[in-house]
Structure 1
Amino acid sequence: MIKSNKPSFADTEPASTIPLHLAGDADFDAPTQPMPLPASAQAAKPAIPELSLSLAPIEAGEYELMAELRKENRVCPLPTRWLEFYRILQDAAGRDPLPAPPLTGSAWAATPDSAKRQCFVEQAEWVVKRGLITKAHEFLSALPKSDWQYAH
């Protein structure tokens, strides 16, 4: 019969109570070095370095669009940018009736922020119903802070 230096434990002994035996000659405090890649992995570089994979654009949902509208207490885009946004709606509408147009000119000056926001939200809801969320979100999220009207 061969004797082992390792203690024997019953199969019912929890693993956390079994003592861990470490090799005595190992230098555990030595700095580590990365393992070199095998030659086959180094040769697997893309044939055309200019082409690289990129992540697919994230499609925005209704939640992301509405969050973009309310971000930092936004009311709506300033008139020029709001007209650009409305042109996106016009191009996509086809024969569908459009929501109310943006407030510009004297209507902009005479309308309170709450009414401007309501008009803009109605346009966003129209966008959601017609499946134009990603296009609208891309346009609105690209607008700089200076192109937005903010609530006071």
Structure 2
Amino acid sequence: MTTLRVVQGDITTVEIDAVVNAASSAMRGGGGVDGAIHAAGGPQILAACIERFPDGLPTGEAGWTTAGDLPARWVIHTVGPNHRAGQRDRRLLGSCYRRSLEVADELGARSVAFPLVSAGIYGWPKGDAVACAVETLRTTPTEVEDVAIVVLDEESADLVRAEIG
């Protein structure tokens, strides 16, 4: 059975099997969580992205690379929908969590840290982003035992705690 929990802090410092990166479709680094993971993990993450995903990834998909200098073993990159740009199909957001768990299962990861995909620069309404994350993580069959939803601020942590129950 999968345990869901909230962690308030920096996702790049969580000691866990796999950390999920809210990536852009180009898979070349960027801002927010993506930039932080690339900066903390070092150039090997970008090199692996270029090698494994020369054409990037479509929205809702996920793939993995090394975690470089991060305390995790792997980075699972997922491309969230950009709400600000009109990508508002909630199924795409749910697919990010589902596909990330499937990739974690392929890797044999038993613990995974997720950010709130699309809830930052991509502008997905935070309350719905939290609801979609928790709903999808609870209902997706997986071998992952420990799922941490990692947020920076107390307000987001409270939203996740309330949704987890």
What TM-score results when the alignment is normalised by the length of structure 2? 0.28
More helix by share: 1
More strand by share: 2
